[in-house]
Amino acid sequence: MNNQTKKVLILGGGIAGLTAAWELSRQNISVELVEKSCFLGGHAIGFTCKATDKCQQCGACSVEDMLKNVVNEPLINVHLRTEIKELKKSSQFNITLTKSDIELPDSQIKNLPSGKAAKGFSKYNNPLYVTESDKDKMGSSCEITADAVIVATGYSPFDPNRKSTYGYGKWKNVITGLDLENIIRENGSLVRPSDGQKPQKVAFIQCVGSRDERLGNLWCSEVCCPYAMRMAGTVKHDNPNAEITMFYIDIQNSGKEFPVFYEKIKQNIRFVRTIPVDIYPLENNGLELRHMAEEEGSPSSESFDLVVLSVGIMPGKDSSKLSAITGIPVNQDGFLDNEITCCSCSSSAKSTQTSQPITSSQSASSIAGLFVAGTAKGPAGIASSMADAGKTAFEAMKYLGVMK
């Protein structure tokens, strides 16, 4: 069989979508890769290298590598600033795509002689420059026919403004982990937004938006513990005099290497088991953080130069809309559920990553040939998302009859 006659449409150009596209193309299957934003690579393409004296295995460089593979692969046709409008299934999938109204990101806008353009974080996004003139095409639609569809639309970071007592957006030196990435990428090391100076006392607050009963977000985001620890290690490596404290309620053990990594990081980072209540501004843009430490049993406060909020992984903003368009159910937490009929023999591919099981009031999708990959179905790090996308691509190939 000539696999090139088979075509798969992938929604989402983050690490899961890129990996699935690449795996399919390696089997000579054509891919239409649809990304709503201006660039490929998702959140992870903006992540910096966390190496200290050695590689911290954060996975950020795999995203760049995968992006390079995809943009150089002729079998993968990329549609940027594009989203799905309609999906119909007959013998194949008929998908209507439309140009999204996403604006060029301010921070990345370049003024070129030909007009305004935005450049992605990766050098491999360069061939995919998005210019203002693309606005002309906005609202235009096109129809695509595909033999299978993979939804890999990713997650949304928790909006820190919802934890108003932490003062995000109000106090300059309260930032999120994603802000921290941006600061390090732009400045080469961590500096305070207020004055460009290296902070000497840094606090990380874990579980912001996750494991929070009041918000109704009971799940663990799984990645923010190892992520924050790697970040703290990088900051400490860059500035050995920095004092770093991590406020936590639990530590998520992720992988067999984690216990050793955790023991090592504890030698340099102070861990305090509590979740801070609120943050107040001090003179010189310092911050006072109030908390009730478990071991102390009474309220205490401490001043810091910078506070990093480890915001959790939330369902993608478009999950409900995508569920309505594709028929894939969402679970109790709002992630797309993967309990769908995954091949013509009606076997089921139940996600192991979903945060909560599907409820009896929700019906599983019965559309064969429709798959979900990566963080669209629940929290996962870069390596897990890539592994899941590879597995999903394999399931899609089985469905297409190109793999046994």
Smallest gap from Cβ 223 to ligand SF4, in A, equals 6
Tell me the window of 59-67, 94-102, 191-199, 362-370 that interacts with ligand SF4 (CB under 6 A). Answer: 59-67
Query: 147 to each of 93, 97, 331, how far by Cα in Å?
Result: 6, 16, 26
Q: Does 8 bind ligand SF4 (CB under 6 A)?
A: no
Smallest gap from Cβ 82 to ligand SF4, in A, equals 29
- Distance between CA atoms of residues 382 and 154, nearest Å: 11
Considering the complex, state which of residue 201 and residue 273 has its C-beta at the smaller distance from ligand SF4: 273
Q: Closest Cα partner for 183 from 199, 170, 171, 167?
A: 199
Contacts of 174 (CB under 8 A, 6+ apart): 160, 166, 167, 168, 279, 287, 307, 309
Smallest gap from Cβ 16 to ligand SF4, in A, equals 18
Considering the complex, state which of residue 32 and residue 388 has its C-beta at the smaller distance from ligand SF4: 388
DSSP state letters, 300-313: EEEEESEEEEEE-E
Tell me the window of 125-133, 186-194, 205-213, 334-342 that interacts with ligand SF4 (CB under 6 A). Answer: 205-213
Smallest gap from Cβ 134 to ligand SF4, in A, equals 31
Q: Does 275 bind ligand SF4 (CB under 6 A)?
A: no
Per-residue x/- track, 306-345, ligand SF4 (CB under 6 A) = ----x-x---------------------------------
Long-range contacts of 56-63 (CB under 8 A, 24+ apart): 56/230, 56/233, 56/234, 57/257, 58/227, 58/230, 58/382, 59/381, 59/382, 59/383, 59/386, 60/382, 62/15, 62/382, 62/383, 62/386, 63/15, 63/18, 63/122, 63/382
Query: 64 to each of 110, 165, 315, 383, how far by Cα in Å?
Result: 21, 36, 24, 13
Q: Closest Cα partner for 403 from 226, 84, 347, 395?
A: 395
Q: Does 252 bind ligand SF4 (CB under 6 A)?
A: yes
Considering the complex, state which of residue 61 and residue 109 has its C-beta at the smaller distance from ligand SF4: 61
Q: Closest Cα partner for 226 from 393, 397, 59, 339?
A: 59
Coil, strand or helix at 263: helix
Radius of gyration over alpha carbons of the chain, in Å?
22
Q: Does 55 bind ligand SF4 (CB under 6 A)?
A: yes
List the one residue from 27, 28, 51, 156 that touches ligand SF4 (CB under 6 A): 51
- Distance between CA atoms of residues 387 and 267, nearest Å: 32
Smallest gap from Cβ 158 to ligand SF4, in A, equals 10
Q: Does 383 bind ligand SF4 (CB under 6 A)?
A: no
Touching ligand SF4, residues 231-250 (CB under 6 A): 250
DSSP secondary-structure letter at 112? E
- Burial status of residue 273 (CB atoms within 10 A of its CB: 0-12, 13-18, 19 or more): middle
Q: Does 282 bind ligand SF4 (CB under 6 A)?
A: no
Smallest gap from Cβ 320 to ligand SF4, in A, equals 23
Q: Does 222 bind ligand SF4 (CB under 6 A)?
A: yes
Q: Does 122 bind ligand SF4 (CB under 6 A)?
A: no
DSSP secondary-structure letter at 223? S
Tell me the window of 50-58, 155-163, 345-353, 364-372 that interacts with ligand SF4 (CB under 6 A). Answer: 50-58
With CB under 6 A as the rule, give the number of residues binding ligand SF4. Answer: 23
Q: Does 215 bind ligand SF4 (CB under 6 A)?
A: no
Smallest gap from Cβ 345 to ligand SF4, in A, equals 37
Q: Does 351 bind ligand SF4 (CB under 6 A)?
A: no
List the one residue from 18, 58, 144, 174 that touches ligand SF4 (CB under 6 A): 58
Give residues in contact with ligand SF4 (CB under 6 A).
49-51, 55-61, 206-207, 210-211, 220-222, 224-225, 250, 252, 310, 312
